[in-house]
Amino acid sequence: MLAYAGLMPPDDDRRVYYDHEPAYRQLAARGGTGWDDWKPEVEHDSYGDLERFLASPLCPAARGARALDLGCGGGQAGFCAARRGFALTGIDYSETAVALARDNAARLGIAAHFVRGDCLALQGIADAGFDLVIDNHVLHCVIEPAHRVQLLTSVRRVLNPDGVLFSATMSAELPLDWEAMGVDPVTRVDGRRTRFWVLRAELERELAAAGLEVLEMLGTGATEDDPVGDLLTVARPARP
């Protein structure tokens, strides 16, 4: 049973623009376990890029390593790392998402720690100690430039010197039908102010401003089934 007691109402003035609590309440009410259940009729490949990274030489060895899943939702991205041996912590602004993640972990028999907090500041997350930080489509929910750098600076703070950030975020590098997607082609922000499409040069500047250096940045192509491509980035704390 999910722990709904004490949850703040969706219109509470403590909510922030990148908070998905109202959506997660709807998901949980209809029996969903994570974000992919928002459109269950659509076939998703939400974790393929992450799984490929986890199997690559750029991923830290899982033995004895700790992973932090940003905007963990129902925990599905983090579970990919946990199944490979990482000790998992997840954080999300939405109380209902955290409740879902805890419920999913218990049901799947996965040991994990989930906390409610703001990814921009990573409250409740101790300084340093993580070998891997996962951004599986969280950064694109953060629109304001200063907030994006704040999030990435917090990531750098909690990473071990040899730790890495894996980030999958929506790319503006591809030809996109902005009108069909309901996105302003100038700001590259959708009409609900919930998503931002970033250019490679912008993301590189944000990472550098946060004290992170890029190890790899790849663009994934859009397909007929999924018209939105991603920038896949692996970064680490910058060396002196």
- Structure-token pair, residue 199: 């250019």
Residue 160 belongs to some domain of the structure: yes
Q: Which domain holds residue 147?
A: 21-237
Here the CATH number for the domain that contains residue 132 is 3.40.50.150
What pLDDT does 163 receive? Answer: 97
What pLDDT does 165 receive? Answer: 98
Tell me which of 60-74, 128-142, 151-165, 214-228 is least confident.
Answer: 214-228
Q: What residue spans of the chain are helical by DSSP H?
A: 21-29, 48-54, 76-83, 95-108, 145-158, 178-181, 200-209
What pLDDT does 6 receive? Answer: 38
Q: What is the mean pLDDT of residues 61-71?
A: 95
Residue 15 belongs to some domain of the structure: no
Residue 175 belongs to some domain of the structure: yes
Euclidean distance between CA atoms 9 and 6, whole angstroms: 9
Q: Is pLDDT of 53 > 60?
A: yes
DSSP-derived 3-state class of residue 212: strand
Q: How many domains does the chain have?
A: 1
Residue 166 belongs to some domain of the structure: yes
Q: Is pLDDT of 22 > 50?
A: yes
What pLDDT does 2 receive? Answer: 39
- The residue among 64 and 4 whose pLDDT is bigger is 64
Confidence of residue 102 (pLDDT cuts 50, 70, 90): very high
Q: What is the pLDDT of residues 140-161, one digit of tens each?
A: 999 999 999 999 999 999 999 9
Q: Is pLDDT of 225 > 80?
A: no
Report for 96-100, 118-122, 128-132, 169-173: range of highest mean pLDDT: 96-100
On whether the CB atoms of residues 40 and 66 are closer than 8 A, the answer is no
What pLDDT does 67 receive? Answer: 97
Average pLDDT taken over every residue of the chain: 89
Q: What is the pTM of this model?
A: 0.91
- φ/ψ (deg, to 5) at 107: -65, -35
What pLDDT does 101 receive? Answer: 98
Report for 32-46, 112-126, 133-147, 223-237: range of highest mean pLDDT: 133-147
Q: Is pLDDT of 69 > 70?
A: yes
Distances in Å between the alpha carbon of 151 and those of 16, 60, 75? Answer: 14, 21, 19
Q: Is pLDDT of 5 > 60?
A: no
